[in-house]
Structure 1
């Protein structure tokens, strides 16, 4: 049987105290356990480590060699433990994140700035993409964390970092803007600008439609665009209506680019998530960031 680290600690303590019984008392173990640890080391190194004397035990020449090495082994292990502990307390390096549009552009920046006020040596590399691709990047270990508005895979540890509502946006002079409210049947009569496949926003809309007995096929999709900003531009130019996150929609409405119209018969509330991978490139920094958010 290969010796454990604790066996070397037992050996060094026995060497210093020159007594199996004193070593046992100091380590809080039985004298039989001390004997077992020493016996295992002697079998492993194929040599006698102690000789008995009237005063207790003394190291053999071979034991003296092991004593010098064992002290270095234990010192190195403790030094390594302290370095790792320090890294947890003062993390450094880069955390790679993939994020879908809404959490990546509107939620993560403020979270990261709050974290970096305390942990200045950690940097963030963020890629904005759709939710589905975020999960692919997480699964193959390309990123440490993803920020998404839809959980394609619930097998990962995740945190809720925000709550979002999807809203209907229309051109400022649109008939639904004048009407003030919209129904699902109203939306089905309009040219609709869709998000790209793989978008978390799109998945939430699909789920809501399915619950009403409809699908995306019931919408008159005239184009698919890959970001909220491109959809806002298309809607403001009169190319159709769309459903997007309320966060960028409010900013666009305040700028006079679009109007937000409440949908009276469709619940489009969702949560925004941070999801931690299982193949971390910088585990210490990720652990620090995760604990910061949990706290």
Structure 2
């Protein structure tokens, strides 16, 4: 059996105290355990490490060699522990972050900026993809953390970083634009611009419709687009209406590109999540980022 690290610790204490019984007392173990640790080391190195004397035990020449090397090994292990701890206190390196559109473009930039002001040695490699591809990157070990608006399973290690409401947007000259609100059934008669498969926004809308007894098949989908910005552009140019995140919708409305119209009988609210890989490439930086987010 190969010796464990604690066996060397036992050996060092026995060497310094020159007593198995004193070593046992200091280490909080039995004298029999001390003897067992020493016997394992002697068997492994095929050498006698101690000789008994009237005063206790003394190191043999072989034991003196092991003492010097074992002390150096344990000192290096302790140094490594100190360095690792300092790395978690002052993290550095890169965090690979994959995010869907809304958290990636509207939530995370300010969070990352605030984090880097405190931890300037940490960099972020950010990729904006749809929700499904973010999850795939996490599962394939390409991402240390992902941020999405749809939680596939509560088995993931996650924290909530924000809340988002989905709203109806229409062209500024659309008949709905002059209305204070519309009913969901009225939307079914309009050309609808959908997000692509894999979008977290699309998944959230699907679940909301299912709860009302509808499905995406009930919408008159005329096109599917790969980003929120492209949906806003299409709506502003009169190609149809759509349901998107309220965050970019308000900015587009302020710019005069679209109008937000409340839906009387459909309120879609979701959370935005940060999900951590079980085996991040830079665990100390990810841990620090995680703890930072928990406090804000």
Q: What is the TM-score normalised by the length of structure 2? A: 0.97
CA–CA separation in structure 2 for the residues paired with 1:26 and 1:281: 39
Task: Tell me, yes or no, if the aligned pair for 1:188 and 1:220 is still in contact at 8 Å.
Answer: yes
- 1:76 deviates by 1.1
Where does residue 159 of structure 2 map in the other structure? 159
Moved more, 152-161 or 5-14: 152-161
CA–CA separation in structure 1 for the residues paired with 2:208 and 2:28: 63
1:62-141 correspondence to structure 2 within 5 Å: 62-141=62-141
- 1:144 deviates by 0.7
CA–CA separation in structure 2 for the residues paired with 1:6 and 1:279: 27
CA–CA separation in structure 2 for the residues paired with 1:22 and 1:152: 57
Where does residue 203 of structure 1 map in the other structure? 203
Deviations 1:188-212 (A, max 9, x none): 1111111111100000111111111
Task: Tell me, yes or no, if the aligned pair for 1:132 and 1:152 is still in contact at 8 Å.
Answer: no
Where does residue 248 of structure 1 map in the other structure? 248
SS of the residue corresponding to residue 72 of structure 1 reads helix
Matched, 1:61 2:61: yes
Where does residue 270 of structure 1 map in the other structure? 270
SS of the residue corresponding to residue 117 of structure 1 reads helix
Task: Tell me, yes or no, if the aligned pair for 1:160 and 1:274 is still in contact at 8 Å.
Answer: yes
SS of the residue corresponding to residue 126 of structure 2 reads strand
Moved more, 276-285 or 259-268: 276-285
SS of the residue corresponding to residue 95 of structure 1 reads strand
- 1:291 deviates by 1.4
SS of the residue corresponding to residue 234 of structure 2 reads helix
Moved more, 250-259 or 39-48: 39-48
1:36-51 correspondence to structure 2 within 5 Å: 36-51=36-51
Where does residue 193 of structure 2 map in the other structure? 193
The number of residues matched between the two structures is 295
Deviations 1:82-104 (A, max 9, x none): 11111111111100111100000
Task: Tell me, yes or no, if the aligned pair for 1:99 and 1:148 is still in contact at 8 Å.
Answer: yes
CA–CA separation in structure 2 for the residues paired with 1:23 and 1:152: 54
CA–CA separation in structure 1 for the residues paired with 2:36 and 2:276: 43
Where does residue 182 of structure 1 map in the other structure? 182
CA–CA separation in structure 2 for the residues paired with 1:49 and 1:245: 72
CA–CA separation in structure 2 for the residues paired with 1:42 and 1:294: 50
CA–CA separation in structure 2 for the residues paired with 1:29 and 1:14: 12
Where does residue 281 of structure 2 map in the other structure? 281
The unaligned stretches of length 5 or more in structure 1 are: none
Q: What is the TM-score normalised by the length of structure 1? A: 0.97
SS of the residue corresponding to residue 244 of structure 1 reads strand
Deviations 1:60-84 (A, max 9, x none): 1111111111111101111111111
Deviations 1:207-237 (A, max 9, x none): 1111111111111111111111111111111
CA–CA separation in structure 2 for the residues paired with 1:237 and 1:285: 44
The unaligned stretches of length 5 or more in structure 2 are: none
SS of the residue corresponding to residue 118 of structure 2 reads coil
- 1:129 deviates by 0.8
Matched, 1:294 2:265: no
- 1:142 deviates by 0.8
1:7-46 correspondence to structure 2 within 5 Å: 7-46=7-46
SS of the residue corresponding to residue 208 of structure 2 reads helix
Deviations 1:7-46 (A, max 9, x none): 1011111111111122222223332222221122112222
